[in-house]
């Protein structure tokens, strides 16, 4: 079976033409930026940030905590949470096995 040049003959699988003519127009390329826009950066570069001195950072004053506010967790608190999690991880398969086996 002969296949025509368009790729739409009886033996084609629905592909387009395999040969692209050079006279077809390509999509328009984006415009080239001007040199002025390249010389004037919008943001400070990493070198500018590293070379310049540290900026003065004004830290906000700490707010007084209201009465009865929660305190941040400490190591003993985290230890107790870890123990509870470990116990649950050990017990859960046993509870599930007892439930399944009757």
pLDDT tens figures, 24-80: 556 777 777 777 767 766 677 777 777 776 666 677 777 776 776 777 888 989 999
Class of residue 7 by CB neighbours under 10 A (exposed 0-12, middle 13-18, buried 19+): middle
Count of alpha carbons within 13 angstroms of residue 14, beta-carbon side? 0
Q: pLDDT at position 55, please?
A: 66
pTM attached to this predicted model: 0.30
SS3 58: coil
């Amino acid at each position: 079976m002969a296949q025509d040049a368009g790729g739409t003959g009886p033996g084609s699988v629905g592909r387009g033409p395999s040969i692209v003519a050079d006279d077809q127009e390509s999509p328009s390329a984006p415009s080239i930026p001007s040199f002025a826009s390249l010389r004037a950066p919008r943001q400070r570069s990493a070198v500018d940030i590293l070379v310049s001195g540290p900026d003065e950072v004004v830290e906000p004053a700490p707010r007084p905590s209201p009465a009865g506010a929660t305190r941040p967790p400490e190591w003993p608190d985290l230890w107790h949470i870890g123990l509870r999690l470990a116990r649950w991880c050990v017990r859960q398969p046993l509870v599930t096995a007892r439930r399944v086996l009757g």
